[in-house]
Chains A and B, each alone.
Chain A
Amino acid sequence: MERFAELVIASVLLAGLYATMAYGLGLIYGVLRIVNLNHGGMIMAGAYAAWWLHAALGLDPYLSLALVSVVAFFVGIFTYRLLVRRLPRGAAGGVQSLLLLFGVWLILRNAAYLIFTGNDHTLRTSYSTLAVGIGSALVSVNRIAVFGVAILILVFLHLLLTRTYMGKAIRAVAQNPDSCTLVGIPVERIYGLTFGLGTALASAAGLLGSTLFPFNPTFGGAELLKSFVVVVLGGLGSVAGTAIAALILAVVEVFAILVIPAYLTAAVGFVLLVVVLVVRPGGLFGQRVLG
Chain B
Amino acid sequence: MKVPLPAWVRPRAAIGLLAACVVLALVPLLNGAVYWHNLLTLTFVGVAAALAWNWLGGYLGQVSFGHAAMFGVGGFVAAQLQLQLRFPMLVSWAIGGVAAGAFSLIWGHPTLRLRGPYFSIATIGVGEATRLVCTYWDWFTGGSSGLSLPMRSNLKYELYWYGIALAALAVAASYALRRSPMGLSLLAIKSDVDAASDVGVSATRLQDWVLFLSGLTIGICGAFYASYFSYIEPGDMFGFDRSISWVLMGVIGGIGTILGPALGAVIFILVKEYLIASYPQLYLGLYGTLLVLVILFEPLGITGLFLRLVRRRRPDLAVTGMAAED
Contact = CB atoms under 8 A, between A and B. Distances in A.
A106 interface: yes
A264 interface: yes
Contact of B116 (A92, A94, A114): A94
Given A222-B128, A290-B116, A270 B285 contact: no
A51 to B, nearest CB: 20
A91 B194 CA distance: 13
A269 interface: yes
A273 B111 CA distance: 9
B114 A83 contact: no
A267 to B, nearest CB: 4
Interface of chain B: mostly helix, strand, loop or mixed: helix
The binding surface of chain A is classed by DSSP as helix
B241 to A, nearest CB: 10
B292 interface: yes
B135 to A, nearest CB: 8
Nearest to B295: A100
Interface string A74-104: 0000000001001100111011101110111
Contacts of A98: 63, 117, 120
Interface string A248-274: 000000000000010110110110011
Interface residues of B, number: 47
B282 A86 contact: no
B122 A270 contact: yes
Interface string B125-136: 110110011001
B110 A99 contact: no
Interface in B255-310: 255, 281-285, 287-292, 295-296, 299
Nearest to A105: B288
Nearest to B111: A277
Contacts of A228: 121
A282 B57 CA distance: 24
B251 A99 contact: yes
Contacts of B8: none
A266 B133 contact: yes
A267 B116 contact: no
A141 interface: no
Nearest to B116: A290
A94 to B, nearest CB: 6
Interface string B105-147: 0010011011111101110111011001100100000000000
Contacts of A113: 281, 284
Nearest to B324: A92
Contacts of A273: 122, 125
Interface of B: 57, 61, 63, 65, 107, 110-111, 113-118, 120-122, 124-126, 128-129, 132-133, 136, 190-191, 240, 244, 247, 251, 255, 281-285, 287-292, 295-296, 299, 325-326
